[in-house]
Structure 1
Amino acid sequence: MYAFAPLSDVVGAAGTVLAGLAGLLEPLTGGAATAAAIVVFTVAVRLLISPLTVAQVRGERRRAALAPRVRELQRRYADEPARLQAELLVLYRSAGAGPLTGCLPLLLQAPFLLVAYRLFTTDEGGTGLLDERLAGVPLGHQLGDGLGGAVVPLFGVLLVALLVLAWWTSRRMRRGAPPAAAGTPGGETLARLLPLLPYTTVLVALVLPLAAVIYLATTTAWSGLEQAVLRRPSAGARI
C-alpha cells in the first residue's frame, strides 16, 4: 500500500481540484455541476498533454517522408539485416524521427490517464466524487447496479456517442492506413484489426461507473477532434 501513497496523494489533489471546479460551475449548471466539472477537468488534462500529441504526429510525418529512402535501404541491404538496421538507425536519427518518437508521447501520457482513471473509478482520497449525482443517478453507478430511473437514458446517450465516435475514428483509420505490403500476412491482419480498436471504448464503458464514462466520452471526443485537426493536409506545414 505504501508504494501507492504518492499516487493516492495526486489522486486526492485532483479530486480537490475537481470539487473546486464543481463549486465554480454550480451557479451555471446546478445539479449537473460535478458532471460538468468532469468535462472541464478532462479538457484541461488533454490541453496539458496536447504538445505530446503534436510531437507524435510530427514524428509520424517525418517517418512517412522517409518511406522512399527506407524502401531503398531495404532493397539495397535485403541480404544484410544487421547492416540494414544500422543504416535505418542512422537515417532516422539524422531526420530526428527515431522509432521511439511515436512511443514517448504515449508513455508520457500514461501518468495523467492513470490518475484520471483512479479518480473516476475509486473514492480514493475521500473526495466523495462518486456519491455526487447527475439526473438522480450517482456518478459511481455502473450498469450492473441496476437500470432504474435515468440510468438507461444517461448511459444510452453516452454509449451512442462513444459508438459514433468509434465509427468515425475507425473510418479515418481505414482511410489513412497505408496499403498492406503484398506477401505479408501479418501486416494485412494488423491492418484489419486496428480499425476495430476504437470500438473497445464502448465495451469498456459497459463496466465503468458513470463518472468514468463521462470522462471516457469527453476524452474520446477530444482525441477525435484533435486528430482531425492535426492530420489535415494544411496542418502538415505547421507542425
Structure 2
Amino acid sequence: MDTIASLFSFITTPVSWIIVQFHKLYGALFGPDTGWAWGLSIVSLVVLIRICLIPLFVKQIKSMRNMQALQPKMKAIQERYKNDRQRQSEEMMKLYKDTGTNPLSSCLPILAQSPFFFALYHVLSNIANGKTIGVLNQTLVDSAREAQIFGAPIAAKFTDSQDKVAALSATIMDVRVVTAVMIILMSASQFYTQRQLMQKNVDLSVKTPYMQQQKMLMYIFPVIFAVMGINFPVGVLVYWLTTNVWTMGQQMYVINQNPTPGSKAQDSYLQRLLKSVTAHGEVRGRRKRNVVQAIVAKGADRNENERRFISGLSKAGFAAQADGTVVKGDTLAVETEGGAAGRRQPKRQTKAQRQSGTAQAGSAQQESTSKTSLEKQSEPQDAKPKPAAKTAPGSARQAKSGQRKGQQRPKHPSSKK
C-alpha cells in the first residue's frame, strides 16, 4: 500500500494544503489539537472532492443505463460472432460509438478520486511516523499525530502493534474497536448502496448477464473493502466511510427523482406524480413536466409503468399534452394505452331501442324504394272530369266502402290486389 501511495506523491501537496485550510477553520471552533478538528477536516476534504465529481457521477448514471439498455444487443453480437473474436470486438466498438456509450464512464468517479485517496493515505502514514509532508510542518504533524477520534489516533491502524499504538498515546483495544466499527459501517454502506441500485433502479423487464454481474459485485466489493480496511489508518477509514455515505445519499436522490425507466423506482415515482397531478390539477415543476413530455413522446413505446401512469391520468379526467402539461374536461380526447387518441364512446342502447331503430330504418327505406319504382314505371295520367251527379237517398253508392273519392293512385306492380 505504501508503494502505491508513493506513486501519487505529486498530489500530496494539494491534499495537505486543503486539509490545513479546513483545520484552521475547525481548530478555531474545537481546538487545534482535537480529533474533531482533524477528523472534520478529512470529512470536508471528501465533500469538496465529491462536489467536484458530480459531473462525472451524472455521466456514470447515464453510462450504466445505456449499458443496461444495450445488453440484449451485446448478447446478440456475442452469439452471432462467437467464433470470431476480432469481428465481435469490432461490432461491440461500433455499437458503443453509434449509441454514444463509454463502458469506462461507470468507473470514472472511483478512478477520479483514487489519487486523492492514496495521497491522503501517504499523508497519514507520514504523520504516523512523525515526518513532515506537503505543507504540513512539524508542529502540524505533531498535532495531527496526537489527535484522536473516540480514543483512536487518526494515524493508527487495526494491524499496528501495541508498542506503536502506545507511542501514539492510545491503547490497542481502543484502536481495534474503533477501526472494526468503522470497517463494518464502511462495508455495510457499500453493500446497501449497491443493493438499492439492484432492487429499485434496474429495468426488471430486461434479464441480462449484466444484472448477474452486478449482483456478484454487490457481495464481493464489501468483502474486499473489509479486508483492505484493516490496513487503513483511522483517518483513511474516515475518508472512505464519508465517501460511501455520500454515494449512498446521492444514489437515493437519483433513485427517487430520476429513476431508471422500467424499474420499481420509476413506478413509485410516477405514482407519486399521479397523486400530485390529481390533487393540484397540474404538473408542478419543470423537471416533472419534462418527465411527462418524454412519456407522451414515446407513444406506443412506453413501458408498463408509463402506460399505467397515462391510464391513471385518463381515469382521473386528465390528458397529458405534448408540452408536459395536463388538461381536464368532460369531452377530452384522451390517449389510449397504445398511444392513439380517441373520443368517449356513446352510451350503449338497449335491445328495444336497437330493434325500434332498425324497424324505422327499414320502413323509411321501403317507402323510398316504392316511390322510386313508381316514378320509373308509371306514366302520368290526366284525370277525366266527372260530371257532378246528385244521388237520391237510398241510391247505390258510386264508390266502394273505404275507397277515396277522386283520382286514385296507381297500384304498385308488386301488389297482390
One fold, TM greater than 0.5? yes
The amino acid of 1:229's aligned partner reads Y
Q: 1:132 to 1:49 in 2, by over 3 A?
A: farther
Q: 1:166 to 1:37 in 2, by over 3 A?
A: same
Q: 1:227 to 1:121 in 2, by over 3 A?
A: farther
Partner SS for 2:53: helix
User: Is it true that 1:66 corresponds to 2:45 in the alignment?
Assistant: no
Q: Counterpart of 1:20?
A: 21
Q: Is the 8 A contact 1:140 1:211 kept in 2?
A: yes
Q: 1:28 to 1:64 in 2, by over 3 A?
A: same
- C-alpha distance in 2 between matches for 1:9 and 1:100: 25
- C-alpha distance in 2 between matches for 1:138 and 1:149: 12
Partner SS for 1:66: helix
User: Is it true that 1:139 corresponds to 2:157 in the alignment?
Assistant: no
Q: 1:70 to 1:21 in 2, by over 3 A?
A: same
Deviates more, 1:140-149 or 1:86-95: 140-149
2:226 paired residue among 195, 198, 202: 202
Q: What TM-score do you get using the length of structure 1 for normalisation?
A: 0.75
Q: 1:171 to 1:224 in 2, by over 3 A?
A: same
Q: CA deviation at 1:82?
A: 3.8
Residues 152-206 of structure 1, C-alpha deviation per residue, up to 9 Å, x if partnerless? 553354234224314423533663598665xxxxx96885465221232222222
- C-alpha distance in 2 between matches for 1:160 and 1:233: 29
Q: CA deviation at 1:229?
A: 3.0
Q: Structure 2 stretches of 5 or more lacking a match?
A: 163-170, 262-286, 288-417
Q: Structure 1 stretches of 5 or more lacking a match?
A: 182-186
Higher relative contact order (CA 8 A, sep 6+): 1
Q: CA deviation at 1:62?
A: 1.5
Q: CA deviation at 1:137?
A: 3.6
The amino acid of 2:124's aligned partner reads F
Deviates more, 1:58-67 or 1:4-13: 4-13
- C-alpha distance in 2 between matches for 1:232 and 1:77: 39
Residues 76-111 of structure 1, C-alpha deviation per residue, up to 9 Å, x if partnerless? 545554444323322210111033443555444433
- C-alpha distance in 2 between matches for 1:105 and 1:38: 18
Q: 1:29 to 1:161 in 2, by over 3 A?
A: farther
Q: Is the 8 A contact 1:139 1:211 kept in 2?
A: yes
The amino acid of 1:141's aligned partner reads A
Deviates more, 1:196-205 or 1:16-25: 196-205
The amino acid of 1:24's aligned partner reads L
1:56 paired residue among 56, 60, 66: 60
Q: Is the 8 A contact 1:121 1:211 kept in 2?
A: no
Residues 42-90 of structure 1, C-alpha deviation per residue, up to 9 Å, x if partnerless? 1111222232222122112112222333344445545554444323322
Spell out the pairing of 1:171-210 with structure 2 (5 A cutoff).
Answer: 171-172=195-196, 175=199, 181=209, 191-192=215-216, 194-210=218-234
Residues 112-167 of structure 1, C-alpha deviation per residue, up to 9 Å, x if partnerless? 33323323333351621741412554221223344457435533542342243144
The amino acid of 2:246's aligned partner reads W
The amino acid of 1:125's aligned partner reads I
Spell out the pairing of 1:1-239 with structure 2 (5 A cutoff).
Answer: 7-8=8-9, 10-30=11-31, 31=34, 32-78=36-82, 80-123=84-127, 125=133, 127=136, 128=141, 130-134=144-148, 135-143=150-158, 144-146=160-162, 147-148=171-172, 150-151=174-175, 154-169=178-193, 171-172=195-196, 175=199, 181=209, 191-192=215-216, 194-232=218-256, 234-236=258-260
Q: Is the 8 A contact 1:57 1:231 kept in 2?
A: no
Q: CA deviation at 1:35?
A: 0.9
The amino acid of 2:154's aligned partner reads L
Q: Counterpart of 2:302?
A: none
Partner SS for 2:133: helix
Q: CA deviation at 1:12?
A: 2.7
Q: CA deviation at 1:27?
A: 3.5
Deviates more, 1:46-55 or 1:228-237: 228-237
The amino acid of 1:208's aligned partner reads F
Partner SS for 1:102: helix
- C-alpha distance in 1 between matches for 2:42 and 2:108: 26
Q: Counterpart of 2:324?
A: none
Structure with greater proportional helix content: 1
Q: CA deviation at 1:225?
A: 2.3
Q: CA deviation at 1:6?
A: 9.6
Same amino acid, percent of matched pairs? 23
- C-alpha distance in 2 between matches for 1:150 and 1:79: 58
Q: 1:15 to 1:196 in 2, by over 3 A?
A: same
- C-alpha distance in 2 between matches for 1:169 and 1:103: 15
Partner SS for 1:89: helix
Q: What TM-score do you get using the length of structure 2 for normalisation?
A: 0.46
Q: 1:180 to 1:87 in 2, by over 3 A?
A: closer
- C-alpha distance in 2 between matches for 1:118 and 1:142: 13
Structure label with greater radius of gyration:
2
